[in-house]
Structure 1
Amino acid sequence: MALTYSLALKIDRLSAANARIGANGIVSLYAGTRPASPDAVPGTQPLATCEAASTFASTPTTAVLTANPISQGVGTEHATASGTVATWGRISNSAGVGVIDFEVGPGKDFVMMPDAVIKTDQPVLIEQIKITAGN
């Protein structure tokens, strides 16, 4: 039997995620295999990190949480000069505690990026982050 949640519960779940991210959250992009959950320590160093706004997102009123603008990051030394493809990412609070992990790549609508190839010392732009509550 499938579960279906009320809109109020979906909003509560998104609001809880927004509160856990809090002020000045961090969006990190990685290559390799995504861990089982945001509670696990990543097996690799980030290819890039970008800072979220002082408020990650406004309080959701629908089943969608859209992040406020994310600052442009720069590819780290863990990317390469020719580029390393980001395959997953993590949104953490300002202390680096993981809250949400996500996939990166073509056809992924959670995080919108012009390119998932991260190059050392080159700008990294996240155009939009949109979290939709399921069911």
Structure 2
Amino acid sequence: MSVTSSAAVRTAKANVDLSAIGSDAVLTIYDGTRPATPDTAISGNNPLVVFTMTGAFGTVSDGVLTAATIPAASVTTAGTAAWARLATSGGTAVYDFAVSTETAATGDIQFAAVDMVAGVQVSIASFTLTEQ
């Protein structure tokens, strides 16, 4: 069964997401196994790169939350990127995402390569969350 929502409902849901994320959000890329939910504590995963946003996370239009510019960040620990967590500035987890290469195209977040090299600067060209 497929459920669809009106534009008004999708937009309302995206605005709830935006409110939950808040200002100055943090997106951290990790190695290892992704926890079951964002409510599950991280255990044994290494943070590879941390993207820190400044100000409002983004804007909402027609059920799509589009992030503002995400400043590039340097890889602090070498490893294989496997998943990411978006958290509030206070550290409360909001979303977890799968990470893959652009070639595999299986991840919510896609990089040219998932092998992260310490000291290399990484950027995110665009970031959207689309409500259904």
Which TM-score bucket, shorter chain as reference?
0.7 to 0.9
Measure, in 1, the Cα distance between the counterparts of 2:129 and 2:39: 19
Q: State the one-letter code of the partner of 1:102.
A: F
SS in structure 1 of the partner of residue 86 of structure 2: strand
- Matched with 2:50 is 49
**Given that residues 13 and 63 in structure 2 are in contact (C-alpha distance below 8 angstroms), is that contact kept between their aligned partners in structure 1?**
no
**Can you give the 5+ residue segments of structure 2 that lack an aligned partner in the other structure?**
none
Measure, in 2, the Cα distance between the counterparts of 1:130 and 1:117: 23
Quote how far apart the aligned CAs of 1:109 are.
6.5
Q: State the one-letter code of the partner of 2:125.
A: E
Equivalent positions of 1:113-124 (< 5 A) are 113-124=111-122
SS in structure 1 of the partner of residue 9 of structure 2: helix
Identity of aligned residues (%): 27
Equivalent positions of 1:1-135 (< 5 A) are 1-43=1-43, 44-58=45-59, 60-76=60-76, 79-80=77-78, 84-106=79-101, 107-108=105-106, 110-134=108-132
**Given that residues 67 and 129 in structure 1 are in contact (C-alpha distance below 8 angstroms), is that contact kept between their aligned partners in structure 2?**
yes
Measure, in 1, the Cα distance between the counterparts of 2:85 and 2:55: 17
Measure, in 2, the Cα distance between the counterparts of 1:72 and 1:61: 25
Q: State the one-letter code of the partner of 1:121.
A: G
More strand, by proportion: 2
**Can you give the 5+ residue segments of structure 1 that lack an aligned partner in the other structure?**
none
SS in structure 2 of the partner of residue 16 of structure 1: helix
The size of the alignment, in residue pairs, is 128
User: Which moved further from structure 2: 37-46 or 85-94?
Assistant: 37-46
**Given that residues 9 and 63 in structure 2 are in contact (C-alpha distance below 8 angstroms), is that contact kept between their aligned partners in structure 1?**
no
**Given that residues 97 and 107 in structure 2 are in contact (C-alpha distance below 8 angstroms), is that contact kept between their aligned partners in structure 1?**
no
**Given that residues 10 and 133 in structure 1 are in contact (C-alpha distance below 8 angstroms), is that contact kept between their aligned partners in structure 2?**
yes
TM-score (ref. length: structure 2): 0.86
**Given that residues 110 and 129 in structure 1 are in contact (C-alpha distance below 8 angstroms), is that contact kept between their aligned partners in structure 2?**
no
